[in-house]
């Protein structure tokens, strides 16, 4: 028995439960579950689409590298939404419980358990990718803060990198150089 | 007076706790405490800044002091509750709109899911109706009979420190973008509720440095950064060298503080010192040189932005007044304004009543096309996009669209020019005429329904970067769509805060999309008399289609369905 044969009949129920549980991590999840317009509800849409894609990649036994893109879309959201790192990535692990709840009676079969072990290992790999993705997002965010300072966009108040400040610095430096040259 | 909708909402909020986060509140929203931690609040204003502002407008900015947001002691004056309530009483008398907005909301919830901060956080207090309720409950508890007698049964509240913390948290998670107001059947301007709340916060000395320092700089030297006249001039002239490198032309039409010019041009000061605003500035200068406009720039009114409007109406009025004062001093006929955001809300909605009528100015008339801008008859101030669109419409610009062929452009309606002054078509008309590749974002994310950049009203500060990314999610999400569908690589806009903050937003959500002002694209496309063959755009990036013609190409201006 392969993963796909085992889980395809339950796919709709499992994915729906997965989406609902992830959306429940927000303070007012009802709207995110109801609104179907992707532009009026970016969180609901991104999470629903992302989890559906991830689930397909997992059970169709596709190359796990394909999970990077949907994972990134999901983690990008969670990485800036006031979740702790574990809360941001735990959604991957939720899937294990959900699948077991949905399979319930089949769990006594050794064959099913063996298949699930293979799937668990794939889920664990996705979880590791999620950690990497989370760190990428946080690092990107800090890089953006640095870029903002360096580009002068933050010069609104601190003024350290505005064109005129740099100009002044250049002038001071060149004056100092001239003086040094004269001394030499 | 039962507020059933609010009750329902607070019940919805506490449903279905999750094993994942414990983030779901188990209490009524009114009882959920606010927790400040690094990243979710703006730094408080420096003592020296508040001292300066207090010396100019006494009593409006509270007692100057050092304080920290995470502390439980904000060093408030002993009678701070009385100051807030007295401030509220005065404003209810002074501003009829405030009183009306406090009374007429029926909690229909039409606004609830329209706020970009709610859509990016899921936090119920970011529903505009509940955000307003933070203030309205205090109003009800203190200024209505039902609230005074029945208290919380009539959904009234006493003013206390927890409420004050809520105000500071959530009225600084509102960018006064007014998207929610578009959907309000009663026309409640929720932005003005936030304005009132911020006025009250400032009365007890609760303000942010990112807002008050630029505001005090503007009062002192005329712009956010505090650039003095010679530095401002030097910065602007520095950009003439860049223009010369790209076009081979040394423009000599840029002047400062020149009396007798026909037009005073006022820009957001970021356009002379910050990337990518400087490219927009080059665009302005090329347009003016191209048509031979008789204009000047004031080094005293060197800022269109008005951070005073994020504090109180007195400082907003004071900073705004310098525009008319400079126009009068220089003896110009009318004022042209650059690509700025909240400047236009202040100009369009408040300037004429605050500081007008400007009897010394004339109703703006384009000296090139003869068009009279009747829409600006009251303020005497025209938006650069209106002005440029009129030039194009009258065939006054020689344009080579192909010079923007390396750009696949979409347009972000900046909240203030779109919802604040109703300018929706002019920038699009310009883009269609200077670019071959222009694609609008889906209709429920543009024009009147545009999503905010998430960093307006002084929230464009680095310490709340996470919050800015959350608030900007709906906008970034729509950009992602056109990026994937049409390979869009440039997000254009007509606002300086947008130019700065959308860049950060794109770097996070859509890393391959750049940000530019509309006038930058015009500058690229303009065929200037005597110019060298252009091989680079204003950013010194190589053009892909050198030597194109000025014939209008087919533009791909499609509006996406939702």
Whether residue A14 is preceded by a cis peptide bond, meaning omega within 30 degrees of 0, is no
Tens of each residue's pLDDT in chain A, 184 residues:
788 998 999 999 999 999 999 999 988 888 899 999 999 999 999 999 999 999 999 999 899 999 999 999 999 999 999 999 999 999 999 999 999 999 887 778 888 899 999 999 999 999 999 999 999 999 999 999 988 887 765 554 344 444 445 555 555 656 655 554 444 4
Average pLDDT over residues B57-77: 96
Contact B354, B400 (CB under 8 A): no
Side-chain-facing half-sphere of B391: CA atoms under 13 Å: 25
Contact A152, A162 (CB under 8 A): yes
DSSP structure class, residue B514: E
Interface of B with A in 244-263 (CB under 8 A): none
Question: How sure is the predictor about B225, in pLDDT bands with cuts at 50, 70 and 90?
Answer: confident
Contact A92, A127 (CB under 8 A): yes
- How do residues B352-392 score in pLDDT, each as one tens digit? 999 989 989 999 999 999 999 999 999 999 999 999 999 99
Confidence check on the interface: ipTM exceeds 0.90, yes or no = no
Residues of B in contact with A144 (CB under 8 A): 465, 504, 507-508
Residue with the bigger pLDDT between B313 and B9: it is B313
* Residue of chain B whose alpha carbon sits nearest to that of A139: B508
Distant-in-sequence, close-in-space partners of B293: CB < 8 Å, separation ≥ 6:
B253, B262, B263, B287, B367, B368
**Domain locations in chain A as residue ranges:** 3-150, 152-184
Residue with the bigger pLDDT between B553 and B251: it is B251
Kindly list the structural domains of chain B, giving each domain's residue range(s) and its CATH number in brackets, ordered by start.
Answer: 4-207 (no CATH), 221-391 (1.20.1050), 401-525 (3.40.50)
Task: Reply yes or no on whether the pLDDT at B4 is more than 80.
Answer: no
What is the spatial distance between Cα B446 and Cα A95, in angstroms, rounded to a whole number?
37
pLDDT on residue B172: 97
Helices B496-509 and B473-486, packing angle to 10 deg: 70
- How do residues B436-457 score in pLDDT, each as one tens digit? 999 999 999 999 999 999 999 9
For residue B551 the two structure tokens come to 């014939």
How do B295-297 and B263-266 pair as beta strands?
parallel
Task: Reply yes or no on whether the pLDDT at B559 is more than 60.
Answer: no
DSSP structure class, residue B399: B
Residues of B in contact with A76 (CB under 8 A): 508-509
Lowest mean pLDDT among B33-37, B508-512, B521-525: B33-37
Residues of B in contact with A31 (CB under 8 A): 112-113, 122
Distant-in-sequence, close-in-space partners of B203: CB < 8 Å, separation ≥ 6:
B59, B60, B61, B62, B83, B84, B87
pLDDT on residue B380: 96
**What would you measure as the largest C-alpha separation in chain A, in angstroms?**
91
* Residue of chain B whose alpha carbon sits nearest to that of A72: B509
**A27 to chain B, minimum CA–CA distance in Å?**
5
**A167 to chain B, minimum CA–CA distance in Å?**
9
Contact B154, B140 (CB under 8 A): yes
- Total residues found in chain A within this entry: 184
Distant-in-sequence, close-in-space partners of B164: CB < 8 Å, separation ≥ 6:
B74, B76, B80, B84, B201, B204, B206
Contact B254, B285 (CB under 8 A): yes
Lowest mean pLDDT among B60-64, B156-160, B248-252, B475-479: B156-160
- Total residues found in chain B within this entry: 562
- How do residues B134-173 score in pLDDT, each as one tens digit? 999 999 999 988 877 777 777 788 999 999 999 999 999 9
């Amino acid at each position: 028995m392969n993963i796909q044969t085992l889980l395809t009949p339950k796919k709709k129920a499992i994915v729906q439960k997965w989406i609902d549980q992830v959306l429940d991590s927000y303070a007012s999840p009802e709207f995110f579950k109801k609104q179907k317009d992707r532009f009026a509800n970016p969180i609901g849409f991104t999470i629903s689409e992302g989890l559906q894609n991830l689930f397909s990649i997992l059970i169709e036994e596709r190359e796990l590298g394909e999970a990077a893109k949907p994972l990134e879309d999901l983690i990008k959201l969670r990485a800036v939404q006031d979740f702790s790192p574990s809360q941001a990535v735990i959604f991957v692990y939720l899937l294990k419980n959900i699948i077991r709840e949905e399979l319930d009676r089949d769990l006594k079969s050794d064959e099913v358990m063996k298949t699930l072990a293979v799937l668990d290992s794939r889920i664990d790999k996705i979880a590791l990718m999620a950690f990497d993705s989370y760190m990428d997002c946080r690092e990107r965010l800090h890089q953006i803060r640095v870029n903002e300072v360096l580009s002068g966009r933050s010069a609104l108040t601190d003024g350290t990198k505005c064109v005129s400040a740099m100009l002044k610095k250049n002038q001071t430096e060149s004056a100092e150089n001239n003086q040094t040259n004269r001394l030499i | 007076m039962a507020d059933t909708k609010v009750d329902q909402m607070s019940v919805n909020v506490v449903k279905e706790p999750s094993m994942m986060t414990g983030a779901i509140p188990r209490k009524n929203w009114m009882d959920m405490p606010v927790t400040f931690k690094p990243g979710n609040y703006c730094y408080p204003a420096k003592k020296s800044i508040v001292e300066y502002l207090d010396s100019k407008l006494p009593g409006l900015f509270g007692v100057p002091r050092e304080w920290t947001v995470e502390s439980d002691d904000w060093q408030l004056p002993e009678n701070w509750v009385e100051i807030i309530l007295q401030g509220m009483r005065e404003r209810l008398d002074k501003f009829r709109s405030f009183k009306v907005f406090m009374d007429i909301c029926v909690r229909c919830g039409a606004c609830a899911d329209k706020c970009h901060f709610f859509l990016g956080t899921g936090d119920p207090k970011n529903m505009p109706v509940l955000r307003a309720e933070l203030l309205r409950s205090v109003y009800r508890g203190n200024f209505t009979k039902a609230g005074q007698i029945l208290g919380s049964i009539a959904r009234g509240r006493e003013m206390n420190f927890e409420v004050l913390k809520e105000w500071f948290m959530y009225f600084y998670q509102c960018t006064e973008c007014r998207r929610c107001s578009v959907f309000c059947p009663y026309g409640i301007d929720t932005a003005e509720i936030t304005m009132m709340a911020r006025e009250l916060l400032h009365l007890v000395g609760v303000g942010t440095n990112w807002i008050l320092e630029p505001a005090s700089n503007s009062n002192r030297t005329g712009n956010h950064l505090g650039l003095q006249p010679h530095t401002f001039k030097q910065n602007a002239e520095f950009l003439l060298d860049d223009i010369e490198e790209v076009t081979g032309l040394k423009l000599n039409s840029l002047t400062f503080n020149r009396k007798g010019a026909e037009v005073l041009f006022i820009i957001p000061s970021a356009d002379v010192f910050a990337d990518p605003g400087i490219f927009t500035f080059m665009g302005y200068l090329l347009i003016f040189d191209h048509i031979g406009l008789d204009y000047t720039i004031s080094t005293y009114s060197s800022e269109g932005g008005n951070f005073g409007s994020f504090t109180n109406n007195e400082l907003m009025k004071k900073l705004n007044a310098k525009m008319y004062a400079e126009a009068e001093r220089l003896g110009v006929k009318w004022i042209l304004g650059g690509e700025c955001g909240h400047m236009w809300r202040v100009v369009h909605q408040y300037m004429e009543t605050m500081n007008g009528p400007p009897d010394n100015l004339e109703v703006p008339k384009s000296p090139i096309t003869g068009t009279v801008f009747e829409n600006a008859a009251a303020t005497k101030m025209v938006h650069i996009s209106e002005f440029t669109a009129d030039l194009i419409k009258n065939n006054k610009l020689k344009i080579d669209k192909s010079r923007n062929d390396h750009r696949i452009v979409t347009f972000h309606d900046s909240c203030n020019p779109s919802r604040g002054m109703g300018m929706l078509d002019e920038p699009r008309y310009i883009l269609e005429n200077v670019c071959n590749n222009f694609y609008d974002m889906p209709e429920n994310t543009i024009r009147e329904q545009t999503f905010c950049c998430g960093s307006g009203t002084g929230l464009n500060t680095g310490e709340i970067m996470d919050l800015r990314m959350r608030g900007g999610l709906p906008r970034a999400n729509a950009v992602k769509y056109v990026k994937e569908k049409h390979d869009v690589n440039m997000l254009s806009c007509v606002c300086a805060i947008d130019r700065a903050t959308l860049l950060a937003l794109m770097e996070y959500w859509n890393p391959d999309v750049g940000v530019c002002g509309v006038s930058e694209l015009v500058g690229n496309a303009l065929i200037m008399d005597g110019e060298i063959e252009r091989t680079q755009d204003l950013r010194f990036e190589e053009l892909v289609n050198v030597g194109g013609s000025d014939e209008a190409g087919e533009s791909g201006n499609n509006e996406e369905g939702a």
